[in-house]
Amino acid sequence: MSAESATRAPALSVGLTGGIGAGKSTVTRMLEARGAVVIDADVLAREAVAPGTRGLAEVVAAFGEQVLDADGALDRPALARQIFGDDRARQRLNAIVHPRVRRAATERAAAVSPGRVALHDIPLLVENGLAADHHLVLVVGASEPVRLERLAARGMQAADARSRMAAQATDDERRRVADIWIDNGGSLAVTHAQVDRVWERRIAPYAQNLRTGSRAERPLAAALVPDSGLPRTWTMQAEDLLARIRRAMGESALSAHHIGSTSVPGLVAKDVLDLQIGVQDLATADALADRLAAAGFPAMPGQWTDSPKDSLADGGWEKRLHVNADPGRHVNLHVRVAGGPAWRFALMFRDWLRDVAAEREDYARIKQRLAAQTTSTRDYAEAKAPWFDQAWPRIQAWATATGWYPPPS
């Protein structure tokens, strides 16, 4: 997923996480049985500080000989006592272990064949901000009473269990980044059914689309829906996708914005996220096409040009269009020249609708009428085109009156 990685078709990278007692290992085994290649962060962390490693030597230098047992191996309970409740100590340990774990995980994922799934089992994925490293984040959840009951069955005292749960991310924080949520609070049969459905409808097709550089199928008709809201609004999903895209493109992404109807609170829209990346020029966009495809956004073939608007520059309306390989999240990724007229118009139009309620309401009525009158998304888009030209003078007047300027990326 990184900008430095090879641009050959990668395996699908799924980051799997969940709170203590949620049953993450159970779901990991189910996915492994379906063909996923498991890369366990806990195993890699133990290998990073195994006897004789440079990692263990650095831990001893930071925390003292008392963190070693009689055989010279790491005494994990002794180390845990030192860092428990001490954020600075935990950060020192993480600075030693985490880079080694990430390097090892990257190496192992690179060895997984295209078309397959590299399942990264990461207990602290949310806490350590690692969601953008993966094509998908899958969270295993269960209610607090269920988790406490499971931990008690393992011999853990209730107070200790609650303390460990409190030290981890909350379910709300996990839901904020979860592309997929598996509820593991019921029977194994129910969990199996969820895993089967997710594997067959999303994970396996996504892996194959990555391998072939294909877009995911979409509904033919333009169905308008409201934002589903918390815990994962359209805006939140867009932010997560833009973080993944930025990671893939590196410094070549000069700007990254959520645009289009889903970026306007309260506006009904097709459940398709429109994202805009600004680049120096279209030659840069073409050079980065393989990286975007590897990140899950294959390029659409052909020439793509936005409809010019007068008073903006005559040139600069050409763009590159990428779409989603993920069957579970439809995306139009517009790659435009940063600062160019098409780039400016997309942001100006969004901000105008956000600011002027009457125009937003009028646009919603137009959208709903045209969606009812057309039978395909192509026909719907073509039917809307004249309205944009009619609205353009009003958008210009608003921009002048408000002193609008493109927002930072």
Residue 292 token pair: 């975007």
Q: What is the pTM of this model?
A: 0.92
pLDDT of residue 316: 79
Please tell me the distance from the alpha carbon of residue 386 to that of residue 366, in angstroms, as a whole number. Answer: 11
In whole angstroms, what separates CA 315 from the centre of its chain?
A: 33
Q: Mind listing the pLDDT tens digit for each residue in 280-330?
A: 999 999 999 999 999 999 999 999 999 888 867 666 799 999 999 999 999
pLDDT of residue 80: 87
Residue 91 token pair: 């950060």
Does residue 309 have a known ligand-binding role? Answer: no
Does residue 153 have a known ligand-binding role? Answer: no
Domains of the chain: 12-212 (3.40.50.300), 224-402 (3.30.460.10)
Give SS3 for 66.
helix
Does residue 170 have a known ligand-binding role? Answer: no
Q: Is the peptide bond before 231 cis (omega within 30 degrees of 0)?
A: yes
The answer to whether 93 touches 68, Cβ cutoff 8 Å, is: no
Please tell me the distance from the alpha carbon of residue 187 to that of residue 169, in angstroms, as a whole number. Answer: 24
pLDDT of residue 6: 43
Does residue 25 have a known ligand-binding role? Answer: yes
pLDDT of residue 2: 47
The closest of 192, 36, 54 to 115, measured between CA atoms, is 36
pLDDT of residue 335: 98
DSSP alpha helix (H) spans, 154-271: 158-166, 171-177, 188-198, 204-212, 234-249
Return the H-helix or E-strand segment holding 299.
Answer: none
72 Rama class: left (phi>0) / alpha (psi -120 to 50) / beta:
left
The answer to whether 126 touches 172, Cβ cutoff 8 Å, is: no
The answer to whether 277 touches 287, Cβ cutoff 8 Å, is: no
pLDDT of residue 3: 44
Q: Mind listing the pLDDT tens digit for each residue in 120-162?
A: 999 999 999 999 999 999 999 999 999 999 999 999 999 999 9
Which residue numbers in the chain have pLDDT < 70? 1-7, 311, 313-315
